[in-house]
Amino acid sequence: MSSLEHRDNLVHIAFDTSRDLLVAGVLHGGEETPTIERVFNDEPSIRRFVRGFLEKGVLRTWYEAGPGGYELHRLLASMKVPCQVVAPSLIPSPPAIG
């Protein structure tokens, strides 16, 4: 069993940040494959996106450490959304082909 909790009302969102756009991998409880969403990287868009998940259940979020995530982290914290920072070196990547 995975280390992620799989309660039906639990949603995990992992953000990849850039200046203009966030790419979010959304994993709903009980599912094994995330969906990919794109969100404009501005406060109203992020609030609207996250609020939709908060109304449905428990939300946990992550973002890759870097300069693009600080504002996202502060915004999520102000919304009382748990947000973890992930070191780039800890993110799994496929083996190199060569």
Q: How do 10-17 and 58-64 pair as beta strands? A: parallel
| Cβ within 8 Å of residue 84, ≥6 positions away | 60, 61, 62
- Tens digits of residue pLDDT in 31-61: 889 999 999 999 999 999 999 888 777 889 9
What amino acid is encoded at 84 in this protein? Q
What amino acid is encoded at 94 in this protein? P
Alpha-carbon gap, residue 86 to 35, rounded angstroms: 20
Percent of the chain with pLDDT over 70: 89
Q: How confident is the model at residue 7 (pLDDT cuts 50, 70, 90)?
A: low
Q: Supply the pTM of this predicted model.
A: 0.78
Displacement of CA 88 from its chain's centroid (Å)? 14
Average of per-residue pLDDT values in the chain = 83
Note whether 61 and 83 are within 8 A (CB): yes
Domains of the chain: 10-88 (3.30.420.40)
